[in-house]
Amino acid sequence: MACEFVAASRKLTPFGFTQAQASHEVERLRALWKLILPSENVLTRAAQLMATHNLSFWDAMIVAACMEGSITRLYTEDFDNSLKQSTGVEIVNPF
């Protein structure tokens, strides 16, 4: 539920609702509910990646999960390899 909230909240940016506000609201929810999946580390890293690399929420979740799982190579056509320096995840376009 927290993941969908953050993803959907991006649509509210034109109305002044920021990603910082969305992250703050998720923190409030985490204080009330037990987070099972994704792990707290993945959710926190995804929020950081969204802020620093302008990734969509779901793209940030994929990279954050790779980081958490010590995955060093991700095959996708959706990113360039500029993330490797800060995340340690090499992005390889298979095409």
- Output 51 or 4, whichever has higher pLDDT: 51
1 confidence band (pLDDT: 50, 70, 90): low
Domain boundaries, the chain: 2-70
The DSSP string of 48-70 is HHHHHH---HHHHHHHHHHHHTT
- Output 16 or 23, whichever has higher pLDDT: 16
| C-alpha to C-alpha distance for 65 and 45, rounded to whole angstroms | 9
Those residues with Cβ within 8 angstroms of residue 59's Cβ, 6 or more apart along the chain or in another chain: 78, 79
- Output 78 or 18, whichever has higher pLDDT: 18
Q: How much is the pLDDT for 29?
A: 80
Average pLDDT, the chain: 84
pLDDT single digits (tens) 36-63: 678 888 988 998 998 898 888 888 988 9
